[in-house]
Amino acid sequence: MIDRRRFLSHSIAGGATLAFAPQLAWARAETDRKLVVIVQRGAADGLATVIPAGDPQFASQRRIFAEEADAALPLDGMFRLHPALERLKTFYDGGEALFAHAVASPYRERSHFDGQNVLETGGAEPFELRDGWLNRLLTLLPGRDSRALALAVTVPLILRGDNRVGNYAPSVLPDANEDLLMRVGRLYDADPELHALWNAAMDTEARAGETAARRSNPASLGALAARLMTGADGARIVTIDTDGWDTHANQTGRLRRELTGLNAMIGALRDGLGDEWRDTLVVVATEFGRTVAPNGTGGTDHGTGSAAMLLGGTVVGGRVHADWPGLATAQLYEGRDLRPTLSMDALVAGAVAAHFGIEPQRAARVLFPDTNARPIEGLVRA
């Protein structure tokens, strides 16, 4: 099987130098590095996002979806990017986007619930671990670098655990009036715990400012994330949930809408971060992929291999990283799904370790203790 695969590491600048990434000193000091993890809940179709238009079986296997490749944005001889991701294409052209393909977590069945559990805990199987890998990452980071925030009403599993984290989301509850807020502040003056929480809350509210009032469209969520992250006391780690990716029916229109939102969110994040984008890594990941062939309702069903993205100023980008398994039926996983050839855990461990200057094996042991992931080096600049 392996000899039939083609190893692809397309790069605008040429990928050959990656094998010689310099040895780094692993002493940790506080940095200005920032990490954003965007979870695509519902299993995003990687084949419609980073489109393998150059695969000889592409048209016959993707059938009704094949024509989507015509309008797509060319990345290299093999892959094209969904046309809604035009902003991400400019990142790619600027060497700030890396798309990984045929990626999967260790999970090999097809339940969203269990698949997201594995993606978020970093376990080898569902419910093996109780906390999220992003929370465990905090134990590896010094003081200031470990300030983490979920842009959600409740902290999602990926960031839950023993390390203290925050959360913030534009509220749909009616706003309390200014006078009440002021009086509550005074009421908490004599209570150290509530006083500290209240001050932190008012600080976040002030940062979120008008952005929060405009409610949660994707662009304002991206701008909000940027606002909460900028400056010396901004959050260093943020996680954002997106949903709507479970496209069992009428995939073309629904996916275009979701990807347009993702593109706008990340674009607004980048604009809001300004110069701090230089120190930022954005990881976009989903629990598993979708079937290669369309189903009977213009959609796709739960699959296995999918695509992931690394974006930002620290990414060694401008390339698609894939050990491409092929789309011919015999090459598919269980005759129906894109065969996973790249470990999500190895990708994440390698990228995050380099981004924060953590020794890669140590990062892998803490983030993914039971999956024997071998961190991929050279994805991100140290």
Partner 1 sequence: MPNSVIAVNRFGLGGRPDDRLPGDPERWLLDQFARYDPVSAPIAAAPRHRDVMRYFGESTGEFLVESERIREINLAARDGEAMPAMDDRRAEMRRAMLRQGRDFHEAHIAARVASALTSTTPFIERLVHFWANHFAVSIDKRETLGYAGLLEFDAIRPHVLGRFEDMLLAVEQHPAMLLYLDQTTSIGPASEFGARLGNRPRRTLGLNENLAREVLELHTLGVDGGYDQTDVTEFARALTGWTVNGLMRQRYITRFLSPDAAPGSFAFAPELHEPGVRRIMGQSYDQADAAQARAVLRDLARHPSTARHLATKLARHFAGDEPPPALIDRLASAYRSIDGDLSAVYRALIASPEAWVEQPVKFKTPWEWQVSASRALGQDALPDTNVTRLFTQLGQPVWESGSPAGYDDLAGPWAVPDALVRRVERAGAMVRAAADGRDPRQLAEALFADRLSTATAQTIAQAESNGQGLALLLVSPEFQRR
- What does the binding site for partner 1 look like in residue numbers (CB under 8 A)? 108-111, 113, 126-127, 130, 153-155, 157, 160, 164, 166-169, 171-177, 179-181, 183-184, 186-191, 193-194, 197-198, 200-201, 204-205, 248-249, 294-297, 334
Contact between 58 and 66 under an 8 Å Cβ cutoff? The reply is yes
Contact between 294 and 67 under an 8 Å Cβ cutoff? The reply is no
C-beta closer to partner 1: residue 17 or 250 = 250
Q: Which two three-digit tokens encode residue 270?
A: 């980048």
| Cα 49 from Cα 72, distance rounded (Å) | 9
Minimal distance, residue 201 CB to partner 1, in Å:
3
C-beta closer to partner 1: residue 33 or 136 = 136
| Cα 277 from Cα 317, distance rounded (Å) | 14
C-beta closer to partner 1: residue 3 or 179 = 179
> In angstroms, how far is the first alpha carbon of the chain from the final one?
34
Minimal distance, residue 174 CB to partner 1, in Å:
5
Minimal distance, residue 197 CB to partner 1, in Å:
5
C-beta closer to partner 1: residue 191 or 233 = 191
Minimal distance, residue 219 CB to partner 1, in Å:
21
Contact between 44 and 251 under an 8 Å Cβ cutoff? The reply is no
| Cα 380 from Cα 315, distance rounded (Å) | 4
Minimal distance, residue 154 CB to partner 1, in Å:
5
C-beta closer to partner 1: residue 83 or 115 = 115
C-beta closer to partner 1: residue 81 or 224 = 224
C-beta closer to partner 1: residue 23 or 177 = 177
